[in-house]
Structure 1
Amino acid sequence: MINISSLSITPEILLLVSKIDEFKGAWRTLGTLAPERLSALRRVATIESIGSSTRIEGSRLSDREIERLLSGLEINAFATRDEQEVAGYAEVMETIFTAWPEIAITENHIKQLHGNLLRHSEKDDWHRGSYKTASNSVAAFDPTGRQIATVFETASPFDTPRLMAELVTWYNDTIREHTLHPLLAIGILVVVFLEIHPFQDGNGRLSRILTTLVLLRAGYAYVPYSSLESIIEHGKEGYYLALRQTQATIRSDAPDWTPWLRYFLGALHRQVRHLEDKIEREKLLLAKLPELSIRIIDHIRRHGRITIAEAVTVTGANRNTLKPHFRALVERSLVVLHGSGRGAWYSLS
């Protein structure tokens, strides 16, 4: 069974859990944007998630290419493996978003999700929806899709059914009995799933789909509106390092869960921060601010301050174009002017 006797709840982990749960509670208020704006946010996040998750595994399709592909998703034949993977990922994500209350965490459902994920992948016909029958390992890829390293070895095909049964039982018992905070239980579910690597292919993509599913089932309703996969893609080195550090210890007497939980919770917190920024941007749009003014505020939110010279670099607009925007933002009490002359700078009010 899963050994959590050595689990150490550090102050950093506690703080991250607290911040994520704080946003979870606030989402009921934050998530009251107009339905069409929420729908737009979800579509953008979905495209980012599909693109990032498939690129992590070696796909070369850009988000723009994926958006064009998804606009014609009624097509049932896809020319390349990358397109096949994107189509499968998109369909499974839509299933998760619309039917998550009915998708309990069982081995059968996990196998069904895997089968649907690879539904369009011709070369995966022989194994989709079934546990692996040959040894596999986790590889890292460079931006061109070339494999550059083996990240870690995985469970044997013989051990896989037993280990998956143990993992699913442990997770459901833990959630039902409230013996561990859901975010910690989810983090352990994901890292052990990846350590087992139960399917011949598609484990990385499926792990990220499962993450979305279990977060939604645990009440984190904001998840579809901000891409966790994008955050993982932009921090792949930390992702693989945390996996290696924890997975090398999972079958020992004292598993070290901390490296992975620190990374996983940090990624979830960045997901929350990105969504907070998007919500603030939507509020500014509702306030009918010009795009240039919104870009100025976006920069201040990310960096704490801005000068007109910095705004010229960030926006590409000249000083004479920018000055009326700054004056209007100050007059509307959205930003505060500090100092004067060339040393002047602006912060959020």
Structure 2
Amino acid sequence: MGLQADTLEITPEILSLIAEIDEFKGAWRALGTLAPERLSALRRVATIESIGSSTRIEGAKLSDKEVEQLLTNIEIRKFDTRDEQEVAGYAQVMETVFANFDAIELTENHIKQLHRDLLAHSAKDERHRGEYKTNTNHVSAFDEEGKEIGVVFETATPFDTPRLMSELIQWTSAALDTAKLHPLLVIGIFTVVFLEIHPFQDGNGRLSRILTTLLLLRAGYVYVPYSSLESIVENSKEGYYLALRQTQRTIRSPKPNWQPWTVYFLRALQQQKQRLQKKIERERIVMDTLPELSLQILEAVKDRGHITIGEIVKITGANRNTIKKHLAALVAANHIVQHGIGKGTWYSQGDPQR
């Protein structure tokens, strides 16, 4: 087996980062006791951020707002631009992973199926969906306008790709089974080597982030759908490419330098969990300080899906003007969304504050 993972030096910083992430993993059972609709809203925000960020890292230009609008009409099934095609494919594969991660083992067949689905809406990629590359490719960095600003590193040849992928999957599965190396370190090494191989003609960056999420979920880090790792990568693109380059150029040498990528990867996971921690704490504070009538209104919206002021008056028996004040405060705090004005006004569940 070509991977020399034993050259990874487990420094105090690496140990500290792993301990912090694992502590949050253990605490999630208690932290994740928000009402189901609030957790669902947190996941929706994180999913939109993840899709937008992961496609923009690869040169797409759709904003999170545009991604959200596209996902609202996902049943259209026809997407005019390549950016829209990429967003639609990414969204559907993420939902597949979230819903079925327990059943999706790390195999070449599953990786190829996820790649096929990722590019399902892209006519340009029809010939090589779900198949390893037949032409050489390289990794490029893109600026905010989506223009290529340079080659980051060379990748494996098409001839070597099947063998290297088979070796990587065997090594990863064995390392996770034997538990000689912490699963976060195994997942980090898998990701950086997958990107070094770059096994498919296109979609490798997006697929690497989906596979990272899959492996984290399978390793018990079940909070990951509620906080976007992809947006953290997008916000630190320079560090991301630097860490990749520093580690990847050594992978096939006798002494690979896993340190740069491992530290970057663990710090990104640390930021992911810190963001989620803050969101949960903010939700808790808000819910603990809401007046009783506001809580009643939220409960009524949750039960019915949408509600009018007249219906709230009947349920609570409260004064109409008082209800309007509470509704205005709940809308301002993103707990509910107002639809329409005047007599036709109604309210539905909202997204949590970011």
**C-alpha contact (below 8 Å) 1:228/1:268 kept by paired residues:** yes
**In the alignment, what sits opposite 2:155?**
154
The share of aligned pairs that are identical, in percent, is 69
Quote how far apart the aligned CAs of 1:288 are: 3.5
**C-alpha contact (below 8 Å) 1:114/1:128 kept by paired residues:** yes
Q: Provide the C-alpha distance between the structure 2 equivalents of 1:267 and 1:153, rounded to a whole number of angstroms.
A: 24
Say yes or no: does 1:121 pair with 2:119: no
Normalised to the residue count of structure 2, the TM-score between the two structures is 0.81
Q: Deviations over 1:157-215 (max 9, x none)?
A: 00000000000000000111111100000000000000000000000000000000000
> Where in structure 2 are the equivalents of 1:7-156 lying within 5 Å?
7-156=8-157
Quote how far apart the aligned CAs of 1:5 are: 2.5
Quote how far apart the aligned CAs of 1:59 are: 0.5
Q: Provide the C-alpha distance between the structure 1 equivalents of 2:97 and 2:284, rounded to a whole number of angstroms.
A: 28
**C-alpha contact (below 8 Å) 1:20/1:272 kept by paired residues:** yes
Q: State the one-letter code of the partner of 2:241.
A: Y
Quote how far apart the aligned CAs of 1:122 are: 1.1
Say yes or no: does 1:240 pair with 2:241: yes
Q: Deviations over 1:291-347 (max 9, x none)?
A: xxxxxxxxxxxxxxxxxxxxxxxxxxxxxxxxxxxxxxxxxxxxxxxxxxxxxxxxx
Q: State the one-letter code of the partner of 1:35.
A: P
> Where in structure 2 are the equivalents of 1:196-275 lying within 5 Å?
196-275=197-276
Q: Provide the C-alpha distance between the structure 2 equivalents of 1:81 and 1:46, rounded to a whole number of angstroms.
A: 20
Q: Deviations over 1:57-105 (max 9, x none)?
A: 0010000000000001001110100000000000000000000000000
CA RMSD of aligned residues (A): 0.8
**Alignment partner of 1:150: what SS?**
strand
Q: Provide the C-alpha distance between the structure 2 equivalents of 1:4 and 1:88, rounded to a whole number of angstroms.
A: 33
Q: Provide the C-alpha distance between the structure 1 equivalents of 2:223 and 2:197, rounded to a whole number of angstroms.
A: 29
Q: Deviations over 1:129-181 (max 9, x none)?
A: 00000000000001111000100000000000000000000000011111110
Quote how far apart the aligned CAs of 1:289 are: 5.5
Q: Provide the C-alpha distance between the structure 2 equivalents of 1:288 and 1:210, rounded to a whole number of angstroms.
A: 40
Structure 1 gap ranges (5+): 291-349
Normalised to the residue count of structure 1, the TM-score between the two structures is 0.82
**C-alpha contact (below 8 Å) 1:118/1:128 kept by paired residues:** yes
**C-alpha contact (below 8 Å) 1:5/1:254 kept by paired residues:** no
Q: State the one-letter code of the partner of 2:22.
A: D
Q: Provide the C-alpha distance between the structure 1 equivalents of 2:59 and 2:69, rounded to a whole number of angstroms.
A: 19
**Alignment partner of 2:151: what SS?**
strand
Q: State the one-letter code of the partner of 1:244.
A: R
**Alignment partner of 2:139: what SS?**
strand
Q: Provide the C-alpha distance between the structure 1 equivalents of 2:111 and 2:233, rounded to a whole number of angstroms.
A: 22
Q: State the one-letter code of the partner of 1:271.
A: Q
**C-alpha contact (below 8 Å) 1:137/1:150 kept by paired residues:** yes
Q: Deviations over 1:222-261 (max 9, x none)?
A: 0000000000000000000000000010000000000000
Quote how far apart the aligned CAs of 1:219 are: 0.2
**C-alpha contact (below 8 Å) 1:50/1:90 kept by paired residues:** yes
**Alignment partner of 2:220: what SS?**
coil
Q: Provide the C-alpha distance between the structure 2 equivalents of 1:124 and 1:21, rounded to a whole number of angstroms.
A: 39
**C-alpha contact (below 8 Å) 1:154/1:196 kept by paired residues:** yes
**C-alpha contact (below 8 Å) 1:140/1:151 kept by paired residues:** yes
**In the alignment, what sits opposite 1:191?**
192
* Structure 1 runs, 4 residues or longer, greater than 3 Å off: none
Q: Provide the C-alpha distance between the structure 1 equivalents of 2:124 and 2:289, rounded to a whole number of angstroms.
A: 50
